[in-house]
Chains A and B, each alone.
Chain A
Amino acid sequence: MMMVFTFAITLTVVVFTVIVTRIIYVMRKSSKPLSKIGSQSVSTLIVLGSGGHTAEMLNLVAVLQKDKFTPRIYIAASTDNMSLQKASALEASLVDERDDGMISKDAQFMQIYRSREVGQSYLTSIWTTLIAIIHALWLMIKIRPQVILCNGPGTCVPLCLTTFFFKVVGIRWSSIFYVESIARVRRLSLSGLLLYKLRIADQFFVQWPQLQREYPRTHYVGCLM
Chain B
Amino acid sequence: MGDDDDGQSKNVVFVTVGTTCFDALVRAVETPEIKQELLNRGYTDLLIQMGRGSYTPTKCGGEDGGLAVDYFTFSSSIAQHLKSASLVISHAGSGSIFETLRLGKPLIVVVNEDLMDNHQSELAEELAERKHLLYARPQSLHQTISTMNLESLIPYHPGDATPVAKLINKYLGFPDD
Contacts and interface: CB of A to CB of B under 8 A. Distances in A.
Interface in B132-177: 158-165, 167-175, 177
A225 B171 contact: no
A55 to B, nearest CB: 6
A-side interface mostly: loop
A183 B120 contact: yes
A139 interface: no
Interface in A130-189: 147, 175, 177, 179, 181-187, 189
Contact of B126 (A36, A38, A42, A185): A185
B167 A219 contact: yes
A124 interface: no
Nearest to A36: B173
Given A59-B160, A187-B122, A203 B167 contact: yes
Interface stretch (B39-47, B81-89, B92-100): B92-100
B119 A37 contact: no
Contacts, number: 103
A222 B167 CA distance: 12
Interface residue tally of chain B, by bracket? 20 to 34
B177 A224 contact: no
Contacts of A65: 165, 169, 174, 177
B30 interface: no
- Quick one: which of A181, A182, A202 has the most chain B CB within 10 A? A182
Interface in B94-115: 94-95, 98
B23 interface: no
A221 B93 contact: no
Nearest to B122: A185
Interface residue tally of chain A, by bracket? 35 or more
B167 A221 contact: yes
A66 B169 CA distance: 12
Interface string A38-52: 110010000000011
A52 B94 contact: yes
B164 A60 contact: yes
B37 interface: no
B120 A68 contact: no
B60 interface: no
B126 A33 contact: no
A224 B171 contact: no
A62 interface: yes
6 contacts: A34-B172, A52-B98, A59-B160, A186-B122, A207-B159, A208-B126
